[in-house]
Amino acid sequence: MSSTSHCPSCGRYVGPHAACPYCGARMGRRTSMRLVKLTVVLLATVGLVSLWTVAIHTEIPTVTIGQVGATMNLAYVRVMGHCSRSPSYDPRSGTLSFWIADDSGEIRVSSYGAKTRALMEERRVPALGDEVAVAGTLRVAEDFGALTVDVPEHLTISRADPVDRAIGRIDLADQFERVRVRGEVREVREPYQGLMLITLRDASGAIDVALSEDLVALSGVTPTITVGDPVEVVAAISRYGDTPQLVP
């Protein structure tokens, strides 16, 4: 028999023995199982290192939001645009969500748990109007696409310097522009739970500043505002129906 588990002299099964227990014949040179196991582990390690090296040096494909479709579900891609809606944040679940838009469409971007904490610690949370480049995993349903941030460092933000502006010179054509205004608080109201509207007036006109509970939770600061206070606000110009408003 040719099997290395059988004695070449008497033909009996000898298993792992180096010498035949029946006739005493020496078995031929046999590969150690320990050596085989070490070789398998070494090859597997080399394979994983090679895959990791290829992965980190492979360029992430950049797509327009309008290109996102069902065939791209679970793809890892990069999209770029401006933050088109103010971030929402749930401190209990650690969920952060915002929307970015380009000329082809709009998509929701979300992070969870430790990823959200890292984004907040590294000040990588976008504000309305910010230019955003973000890479993540696409989740695409029939009529809805979303992107999940897996690596906080794959989200970058470009924020414009604010431009001093008189309130009366702000209109809807300035949407998403970042401005600095100064005025006096004329009214503070809460149209519904989670949103405070502060009416600010200067010599040229009046405008509402929208302060959401999400912004308060993200900043960790609860402002104390009373009628008559002189204030300075740095904010993006937003749209509420046919009326401009400011979002800090």
User: Which candidate, 12, 40, 37, 36, places its Cα nearest to that of 24?
Assistant: 12
Residues 18-60: tens digit of each pLDDT: 677 768 667 665 555 567 778 888 888 887 776 666 555 578 9
DSSP 135: E
Torsions phi, psi for 215 (to 5 deg): -65, -40
Rounded-to-integer distance, Cα 56 and Cα 52, Å: 6
Question: What is the SS3 assignment for 103?
Answer: coil
User: Which candidate, 69, 124, 68, places its Cα nearest to that of 101?
Assistant: 68
Q: Could you count the other beta carbons within 10 Å of the beta carbon of residue 217?
A: 15
Low-confidence ranges of the chain (pLDDT < 70): 1-4, 14-18, 22, 24-25, 27-34, 50-57
Torsions phi, psi for 218 (to 5 deg): -70, -40
The predicted pLDDT at position 114 comes to: 96
The predicted pLDDT at position 98 comes to: 97
Rounded-to-integer distance, Cα 72 and Cα 66, Å: 12
Say what the pTM is. 0.74
Torsions phi, psi for 229 (to 5 deg): -65, 135
- Determine the residue type at 201: R
CB 123, CB 117: distance < 8 Å: no
Helix (H) or strand (E) holding 50: helix 33-57
